[in-house]
Amino acid sequence: MLSVRDLDVRYGEIRALRGVCMEVAQGEVVTLLGGNGAGKSTTLRAISGLLAPTGGDITFEGESIVGRRPEEIARMGIVHVPEGRQVIPGLSVLDNLRMGTSNGRMSRKDVPAGLERVFAVFPRLYDLRPRLGWSLSGGEQQMLVIGRAMMANPRLLMLDEPSLGLAPIVVREVFRIIGELHEAGLTVLLVEQNAYQALTVADRGYVVETGTVVVSGDARDLLDDDQMRSAYLGRT
């Protein structure tokens, strides 16, 4: 579905990505792991058209998407949930969810069914629907931005650090939900620092270091790999 080939991205003099290669097949959950500053968010920003690569190619369903505008890429079904939970503070939960349809992939008549799907995964959001964005807890905001992304009818959902800053019990809930979306057949590219939990829900993983993929493989193999365990999983 998604293929990233020899991707180079620079921020001025800084070479943030140096030849990143990765694939995501339909229906897979793929996780992109690595430490701070490794290049994970940059990879997602380049895929969604927010950054222009200086080299390499990105194809989605066989078509190159390099050079296309972010709105066009979103309309193709690549929905990016950036780090930092961008809930619109002055809008209700319900209106935040409705905003998700602004990429134009959901017609007005499909909105009630879309909301129903979101509330089936996140019953808590149903109870919270009149509440304003600013009044939600961190975990509730994370649920809301994932729910809003579902309203965009994604073909590929890209989540950047959805567990960041959440209490352990809420982190478990977020990963449980990613597992549910996977079971429902959604394709997910998940950036995480929480490598162990990410590999638990993923089919495959890539580890990025200083802008290059250094390890890749089946999630189960990566979880069992001694070097992975000591370097990234914090387990021996």
The pattern of x and - marking residues 133 through 162 that bind ligand ATP according to CB under 6 A reads ------------------------------
41 sits near ligand ATP (criterion: CB under 6 A)? yes
CA distance 35 to 194: 10
Residue 48 near residue 73, CB atoms below 8 Å: yes
CA distance 57 to 55: 7
11 sits near ligand ATP (criterion: CB under 6 A)? yes
Q: State in angstroms the smallest separation of the CB of 231 from ligand ATP.
A: 15
Take residue 163 and report the two structure tokens written for it.
Answer: 């567990």
Residues 17-36 interacting with ligand ATP (rule: CB under 6 A): 34, 36
Shorter beta-carbon distance to ligand ATP: residue 4 or 125:
4
User: From the list 6, 25, 27, 37, which residue makes contact with ligand ATP (rule: CB under 6 A)?
Assistant: 37
Shorter beta-carbon distance to ligand ATP: residue 35 or 217:
35
Residue 78 near residue 48, CB atoms below 8 Å: yes
CA distance 25 to 151: 22
CA distance 66 to 55: 10
User: From the list 1, 2, 4, 16, which residue makes contact with ligand ATP (rule: CB under 6 A)?
Assistant: 16
Residue 157 near residue 181, CB atoms below 8 Å: yes
187 sits near ligand ATP (criterion: CB under 6 A)? no
Residues 193-222 interacting with ligand ATP (rule: CB under 6 A): 193
Place of tokens 């580890």: 207
From 38-46, 92-100, 195-203, 226-234, span contacting ligand ATP (CB under 6 A): 38-46
Q: How many CA atoms lie within 13 A of 2 on its CB side?
A: 28
Residue 183 near residue 29, CB atoms below 8 Å: no
Shorter beta-carbon distance to ligand ATP: residue 40 or 148:
40
Give the residues lining the site for ligand ATP (CB under 6 A): 11, 14, 16, 34, 36-42, 193
